[in-house]
């Protein structure tokens, strides 16, 4: 039986579809070689990193913590608040430009070497599958069905790994301590977290047991963007047509037309995790995993021909033999990247050591006190962004009329901690004109931080009526 991908491209619909539209299951062979060894080493480091990042603490916070309810995002010791829109935009912009640059230079190296989808599928789920089902044959056909218990055991292990992934995913959002605590309690105590873990586990099971390579070939937006991000000089995994064609097995007949180095063994196809034939040229489905390089190098070694019939190269180098590193986008991207990161660093360095937000208290807009003074309530939220514990006070500005009272001051906050102080401002009714007045609050810490805040007061239209409340 011929491997379906060895049919001419026009006879195939998609590498993962049969012509009748049914799913074509891929069972890629493992091709051992230098690139597989390298990818495996990288994958093991990344597996540790992906699972370990929420557990690593920097400055008292997880290395990556995406606190959605508080809208605080921590990356390696730096916390971004909702008010850091510009900083976040600069950070995201820099990351995008960096991705564009790396893709222009190194093609889909991220997809083949570092993407969590590839790392978990190729170095966790598929090895587990091979352990229980056995390896596919040389044509990429699935191993013979095994005892039912083996299948059940395989899915049980898949489920355990998926549960671990779901809990790790949750830890990025709520922190590992909470996940650990919740996992020991009843699901009814944390139904939303439980449902989230349940949903993510189910998604992981569907993705890694069923959907698999289609995530890369059909669903991933980065994969769809390759045609605009790559150019002819970008690094790709490519087949050297000039050297390989005409393909086919050589025989000893003197009359036979000379053949290229490709013996049409199909090893590069049956090892491909996305089911394509790299000899048909660069395709969007190629994730740059280099398995076909290892497969073909092993064939060339056996035939005692030079390695590299399939190799890391560029379209231009494969077609013309010439590689051009310098081109417009390779110069433009770094310039934009340097500008964005410089702006980001400058903005970050000049960020004040505390973040202050003034909120009007909910409920009545103001209260008229028995002595005729008008009380306005507010909440002052402070986030300590410095590297030391700080004590914060809120006072009225030196020119402001009235009195400020709070039971919550001073606010003592550890680095990265936030706190709220409820404050009441008592003012004379004379400061109000048409029901409005204004005063100034000042938030200070025990170091050098000082932040003046304008606070709009609300009060009666005329003189205050003792004992009354605002509308």
Residue 290 near ligand SF4 by CB under 6 A: yes
Residue 296 near ligand SF4 by CB under 6 A: yes
Closest distance of CB 29 from ligand SF4, Å = 10
Q: Do 376 and 457 touch, CB atoms closer than 8 A?
A: yes
Closest CA to 431 of 458, 398, 452, 453: 458
Residue nearer to ligand SF4 on the CB measure, 4 or 288: 288
Among 33, 288, 416, 459, binds ligand SF4 (CB under 6 A): 288
Closest distance of CB 171 from ligand SF4, Å = 31
Q: In the window 427-466, what residues touch ligand SF4 (CB under 6 A)?
A: none
Among 97, 165, 235, 267, binds ligand SF4 (CB under 6 A): 267
Taking contact as CB under 6 A, which single stretch among the options 199-207, 237-245, 388-396, 403-411 is the one that binds ligand SF4? 237-245
Among 262, 282, 378, 394, binds ligand SF4 (CB under 6 A): 262
- 252 DSSP 8-state letter: S
Among 121, 200, 237, 374, binds ligand SF4 (CB under 6 A): 237
Taking phi over 0 as left and psi of -120 to 50 as alpha, with beta for the rest, 145 belongs to: beta
Residue nearer to ligand SF4 on the CB measure, 269 or 356: 269
| Burial (0-12, 13-18, 19+ Cβ within 10 Å), 91 | buried
Instruction: Report cis status (omega within 30 of 0) of the bond before 246.
Output: yes
Residue nearer to ligand SF4 on the CB measure, 249 or 322: 249
Q: In the window 99-158, what residues touch ligand SF4 (CB under 6 A)?
A: none
Closest CA to 459 of 341, 337, 376: 376
CA dihedral 395, 396, 398, 401 (to 10 degrees): -150
Residue 314 near ligand SF4 by CB under 6 A: no
Residue nearer to ligand SF4 on the CB measure, 263 or 380: 263
Among 231, 264, 319, 401, binds ligand SF4 (CB under 6 A): 264
Residue 309 near ligand SF4 by CB under 6 A: yes
Q: Quickly count: other Cβ atoms within 10 Å of residue 361's Cβ.
A: 13
- d(CA 183, CA 177) in angstroms, rounded, equals 10
Among 54, 107, 266, 437, binds ligand SF4 (CB under 6 A): 266
Residue nearer to ligand SF4 on the CB measure, 74 or 226: 226
- d(CA 85, CA 8) in angstroms, rounded, equals 51
The enclosing H or E element of 390 equals strand 390-396
Structure tokens at 359: 């909120």
Cβ neighbours of residue 342 closer than 8 Å, sequence gap 6 or more: none
User: Each residue of 300-309: b (16+ CB within 10 Å) or e?
Assistant: beeeeeebeb
CA dihedral 217, 221, 224, 229 (to 10 degrees): -130
Would you say the C-alpha torsion 195, 199, 200, 202 has a positive or negative sign? positive
Taking contact as CB under 6 A, which single stretch among the options 150-158, 276-284, 352-360, 379-387 is the one that binds ligand SF4? 276-284
Size of the site for ligand SF4 (CB under 6 A): 29
Q: Do 292 and 237 touch, CB atoms closer than 8 A?
A: yes
Q: Do 66 and 75 touch, CB atoms closer than 8 A?
A: no
Strands 436-445 and 411-413: unpaired
Residue 231 near ligand SF4 by CB under 6 A: no
Taking contact as CB under 6 A, which single stretch among the options 79-87, 191-199, 267-275, 320-328 is the one that binds ligand SF4? 267-275
Closest distance of CB 310 from ligand SF4, Å = 5
Among 166, 272, 423, 457, binds ligand SF4 (CB under 6 A): 272
Cβ neighbours of residue 356 closer than 8 Å, sequence gap 6 or more: 380, 381, 382, 383, 443, 451, 453
Residue 409 near ligand SF4 by CB under 6 A: no
Closest distance of CB 208 from ligand SF4, Å = 17
Residue 43 near ligand SF4 by CB under 6 A: no
Taking contact as CB under 6 A, which single stretch among the options 66-74, 189-197, 288-296, 389-397 is the one that binds ligand SF4? 288-296
| Burial (0-12, 13-18, 19+ Cβ within 10 Å), 291 | buried
Residue 278 near ligand SF4 by CB under 6 A: yes
Residue nearer to ligand SF4 on the CB measure, 121 or 267: 267
Residue 292 near ligand SF4 by CB under 6 A: yes
Taking contact as CB under 6 A, which single stretch among the options 98-106, 132-140, 290-298, 327-335 is the one that binds ligand SF4? 290-298
Residue nearer to ligand SF4 on the CB measure, 276 or 380: 276
Among 268, 374, 423, 457, binds ligand SF4 (CB under 6 A): 268
SS3 at position 28: coil
Residue nearer to ligand SF4 on the CB measure, 296 or 394: 296
Strands 418-427 and 390-396: unpaired
Residue 282 near ligand SF4 by CB under 6 A: no
- d(CA 205, CA 198) in angstroms, rounded, equals 11
Given the rule CB under 6 A, which residues bind ligand SF4? 237, 239, 244, 262-268, 271-274, 276, 278-279, 286-292, 295-296, 299, 309-310
């Amino acid at each position: 039986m011929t491997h379906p991908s060895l049919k001419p491209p026009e006879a195939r619909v998609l590498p993962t579809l049969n012509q009748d539209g049914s799913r074509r299951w891929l069972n890629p062979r493992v091709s051992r070689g230098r690139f597989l060894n390298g990818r495996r080493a990288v994958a093991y480091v990344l597996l540790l990193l992906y699972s370990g990042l929420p557990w690593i603490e920097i400055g008292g916070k997880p290395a990556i913590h995406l606190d959605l309810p508080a809208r605080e995002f921590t990356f390696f010791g730096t916390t971004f608040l909702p008010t850091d829109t510009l900083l976040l935009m600069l950070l995201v912009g820099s990351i995008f430009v960096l991705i564009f640059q790396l893709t222009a230079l190194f093609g889909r190296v991220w997809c083949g070497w570092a993407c969590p989808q590839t790392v978990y599928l190729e170095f966790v789920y598929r090895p587990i599958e091979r352990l229980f089902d056995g390896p596919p044959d040389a044509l990429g056909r699935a191993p013979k069905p095994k005892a039912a218990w083996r299948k059940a055991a395989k899915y049980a292990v898949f489920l355990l790994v998926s549960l671990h992934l779901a809990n790790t995913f949750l830890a990025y959002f709520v922190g590992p301590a909470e996940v650990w605590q919740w996992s020991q309690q009843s699901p009814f105590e944390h139904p939303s977290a439980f449902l989230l873990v349940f949903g993510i586990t189910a998604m992981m099971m569907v993705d890694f047991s069923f959907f698999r390579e289609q995530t890369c070939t059909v669903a991933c937006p980065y994969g769809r963007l390759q045609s605009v991000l790559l150019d002819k000089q970008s690094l790709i995994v490519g087949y050297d047509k000039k050297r390989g064609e005409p393909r086919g097995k050589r025989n000893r007949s003197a009359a036979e037309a000379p053949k290229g180095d490709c013996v049409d063994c199909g090893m590069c196809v049956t090892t491909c995790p996305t089911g394509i034939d790299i000899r048909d040229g660069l395709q969007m489905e190629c994730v740059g995993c280099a398995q076909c390089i290892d497969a073909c190098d092993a064939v060339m070694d056996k035939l005692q021909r030079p390695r590299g019939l399939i190799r890391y190269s560029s379209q231009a180098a494969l077609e013309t033999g010439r590689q051009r590193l310098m081109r417009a986008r390779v110069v433009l991207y770094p310039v934009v990247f340097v500008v964005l990161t410089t702006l980001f660093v400058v903005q970050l360095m000049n960020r004040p050591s505390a973040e202050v937000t003034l909120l009007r208290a909910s409920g009545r807009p103001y209260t008229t006190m028995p002595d005729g003074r008008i009380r306005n309530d507010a909440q002052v939220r402070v986030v300590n962004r410095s590297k030391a514990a700080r004590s914060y006070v809120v006072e009225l500005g030196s020119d402001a009329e009235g009195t400020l009272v709070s039971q919550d001051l001073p606010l003592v906050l550890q680095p990265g901690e936030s706190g709220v102080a409820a404050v009441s401002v008592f003012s004379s009714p004379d400061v109000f004109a048409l029901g409005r007045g204004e005063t100034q609050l000042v938030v200070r810490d025990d170091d050098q931080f000082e932040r003046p805040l304008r606070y709009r007061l609300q009060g009666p239209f005329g003189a205050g009526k003792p004992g009354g409340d605002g509308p």
